[in-house]
Structure 1
Amino acid sequence: MADAAEFARETEPYRRELFAHCYRMLGSVFDAEDLVQETYLRAWRHYDGFEGRSSVRTWLHQIATNGCLTALARRRDADRRVLPSGLGPPQPDVETAALDPDQRQHWLQPVPDAWVTPESGDPASVVAAREGVRLALVASLQHLPPKQRAVLVLRDVLAFPAAEVADMLQTSTASVKSSLQRARATLKEQAPTAERTTEPTAPQARAVLAKYIKAFENADADALTRLLLQDASIEAPPIRAWFKGVETCIPVLRDHVLGDPGLWRMVPVAGGANGHPAAVGYLRDEEGRYQPYGVIVLDVVGDRIRRIVSFGDPDLVAVFRRV
């Protein structure tokens, strides 16, 4: 009979890394939580038979990866989790855009940095963990076929040797190398230039987030104009339409989002989300009570904002309250 204390001692150190892996594969914090739970249940059931031919880390990632692939095989292609910018070009203006939520589409979800960064606090490890869950990367991964997605994450993000990846996926090393080449090429097409943002712990990034929150809560479109880069973009799943360029974004925000001062309340997320500064948003209802709206993630460059992704899902508020 397996020893529960020994099992916990051997496997628990990998829980955050496994969660981040499942999140990259599935694009959903809820699905990732379920998959990690399933991984540990399967690992416990088979722990007596674990003979140490691989490391515990490799063994757990094999279980998790195959669980993700099974979950993805049940999805239709239309069910992949994406951002609005992954479905087509930006709208030229708000007058021609459909602003009704599209609840049929499965949308990418943000993840709290606190759930994926190492507990050790080693600065290099923390930076690497955040880089591995940037929104641009995770969104691009969702466009890869599941097996290619797994190979790229296991090789390029988690740095498993090709031979170990082949064993995990029950394929050949040559097949892993071929899949990796194709995945890298597709990823380059999806995101031809690697995005880099100010670390969310940097004082400058926190200051930009504070200015954004103040401008939004005060319904100050002029202040938002000063914060946005000229080619800034905004997207707000579950709304399918998205917009690019400050001349287009500001009218959208001013005329359809900001409302009157006091309509919005925002609370900064400790540590951020997906390696970016972030806030939890609340929207005042007709009775004056603030109801959960979702999570707002900013892509900050210097002292300006390059992209706003406003995830309008009230269920995410409960997730980020747990940070």
Structure 2
Amino acid sequence: MQTGTMSPDTTRFAALTDPYRTELLVHCYRMLGSVHEAEDLVQETFLRAWRSFGAFEGRSSVRTYLYRIATNACLTALEQRSRRIMPSAHGFEPGEPSWLEPIPDALLARASDPAAVVDTRASVRLAFIAALQHLPPIRRAVLILRDVLSLSAAEAAEVLDTTTAAVNSALPRARAQIAQVAPIADKVVEPAEPRRRALLDHYVAAFETADIGALTRLMRADIALEMPPQAEWFRGRSAVAEFFATRVLRKPGRFSMVPTAANGQPAVMAYLHEDDGTHRPHAVHVLTMDTTGLAHIAVFFESAVHTLFTSARLP
């Protein structure tokens, strides 16, 4: 990188900014609903930060400085495209939809503080990310800065280059709007780890053996199934079970399933076995569970999503 005779020291710049790279990626993902776009904007953020670092006077923290660049880069990007959605919201979107992407837990686990990783996973649940996309960009940013990152109103105003009064005005509107589309927390009580692992293992076994009965027994009565980029989606145990029975699991041995994790939730990378004995990535399944079973299955077919889960390979 070259910025003329006033170029900052690269070692100092890296030492000050690199610790925030992972959390900035997650921040941009919350804003955009796309890992690929988030990665691009993090790169842009660091490039902009490098170019202007010589003029950085330290009146704010480096973290606030980076969040200001990243947040405004996201807001600019959102002006140029439609929001990313899940199929259940497709009926409200004109034109060709842009689909939400899951984020691998491997990207969240880069943080050095285990407590920070836990907090991050709790705030990237797939349903929450989908709900965020319903908010206008500025309200989305305010909600994330205040309620997820726990910035003060003054700090959020500095990031957004606005007034504290504007932040305080936008926040209750954002909270009210997201409450209409976000899941009610006390209705989705996650199971303890042994139960969670057992549900995942049973899901893998049922899929690999095409055991529709076993798969159905894992489902809540009101389960939903969504499969971007397909606009079609299903709600209810009978509808979801019928779909799997008639269109996916017609015989055992079609799929091999590799457990993984996405958005702080159990997930599976499904590989389809071809007639010539080879296999290919088929879909990433992200599972939402509660103490009574599977509440939601999101199946992502797009190859761009598959490339994010390179660690979930067949042995």
Work out whether the TM-score is over 0.5: yes
Which residue matches 2:36? 30
Summarize deviations over 1:178-219 as a string: whole Å, max 9, x none: 11111111101112512645379x232122111101101111
Secondary structure, in 3 states, of the residue corresponding to 1:307?
strand
Which residue matches 2:154? 163
The percent of aligned pairs where both chains have the same amino acid is 49
1:239 maps to 2:265:
no
Secondary structure, in 3 states, of the residue corresponding to 2:96?
coil
Q: CA separation of 1:53/1:150 partners in 2, compared to 1, >3 Å: closer, same or farther?
A: same
Structure 1 Cα separation of the partners of residues 311 and 72 of structure 2: 28
TM-score, normalised relative to structure 2? 0.91
Which residue matches 1:20? 26
1:105 maps to 2:97:
yes
Query: Cα offset for 1:286?
Result: 4.2
TM-score, normalised relative to structure 1? 0.89
Which residue matches 2:86? 83
Q: CA separation of 1:322/1:42 partners in 2, compared to 1, >3 Å: closer, same or farther?
A: farther
Contact preservation (8 Å) 2:222, 2:235: yes
Contact preservation (8 Å) 1:204, 1:303: no
Pick from 269, 272, 276 the counterpart of residue 280 of structure 1.
269
Contact preservation (8 Å) 2:226, 2:234: yes
Which residue matches 1:291? 280
Structure 2 Cα separation of the partners of residues 199 and 113 of structure 1: 18
Summarize deviations over 1:294-313 as a string: whole Å, max 9, x none: 21100111262111111111
Structure 2 Cα separation of the partners of residues 259 and 247 of structure 1: 16
Structure 2 Cα separation of the partners of residues 33 and 310 of structure 1: 22
Contact preservation (8 Å) 2:191, 2:290: no
Structure 2 Cα separation of the partners of residues 42 and 26 of structure 1: 19
Pick from 163, 174, 184 the counterpart of residue 193 of structure 1.
184
Summarize deviations over 1:66-112 as a string: whole Å, max 9, x none: 0000100111xxx31101122359xxxxxxxxxxxxx9321000001
Query: Cα offset for 1:279?
Result: 1.0
Query: Cα offset for 1:42?
Result: 0.8
Secondary structure, in 3 states, of the residue corresponding to 1:260?
coil
Structure 2 Cα separation of the partners of residues 223 and 129 of structure 1: 33
Give the residue type in structure 2 aligned to 1:85: S
Which residue matches 1:114? 106
Secondary structure, in 3 states, of the residue corresponding to 1:240?
strand
Structure 2 Cα separation of the partners of residues 224 and 85 of structure 1: 22
Structure 1 Cα separation of the partners of residues 111 and 131 of structure 2: 27
Secondary structure, in 3 states, of the residue corresponding to 1:154?
helix
Root-mean-square deviation (CA, aligned residues, Å) is 1.9
Q: CA separation of 1:182/1:127 partners in 2, compared to 1, >3 Å: closer, same or farther?
A: same
Summarize deviations over 1:9-36 as a string: whole Å, max 9, x none: 1111111110000000010010001011
Higher relative contact order (CA closer than 8 Å, sequence separation 6+): 1
Pick from 42, 48, 64 the counterpart of residue 48 of structure 2.
42
Aligned length in residues: 303
Which residue matches 2:65? 59
Secondary structure, in 3 states, of the residue corresponding to 1:52?
coil
Structure 2 Cα separation of the partners of residues 311 and 241 of structure 1: 13
Structure 2 Cα separation of the partners of residues 23 and 34 of structure 1: 11
Which residue matches 1:132? 123
Summarize deviations over 1:218-261 as a string: whole Å, max 9, x none: 11100101111111111111111211111111111100111211
Structure 2 Cα separation of the partners of residues 187 and 80 of structure 1: 15
Structure 2 Cα separation of the partners of residues 322 and 106 of structure 1: 26
Contact preservation (8 Å) 1:199, 1:276: no
Secondary structure, in 3 states, of the residue corresponding to 1:64?
helix
Secondary structure, in 3 states, of the residue corresponding to 1:51?
coil
Give the residue type in structure 2 aligned to 1:278: A
Query: Cα offset for 1:291?
Result: 1.3
Structure 2 Cα separation of the partners of residues 293 and 105 of structure 1: 21
Contact preservation (8 Å) 1:294, 1:315: no
1:210-289 matched pairs, under 5 angstroms:
210-269=201-260, 272-289=261-278
Contact preservation (8 Å) 1:117, 1:125: no
Structure 2 Cα separation of the partners of residues 298 and 210 of structure 1: 12
Contact preservation (8 Å) 1:81, 1:106: yes
Q: Which runs of 5+ in 2 are unaligned?
A: 1-6
Contact preservation (8 Å) 1:236, 1:242: yes
Which residue matches 1:97? none
Q: Which deviates further from its counterpart, 59-68 or 242-251?
A: 242-251
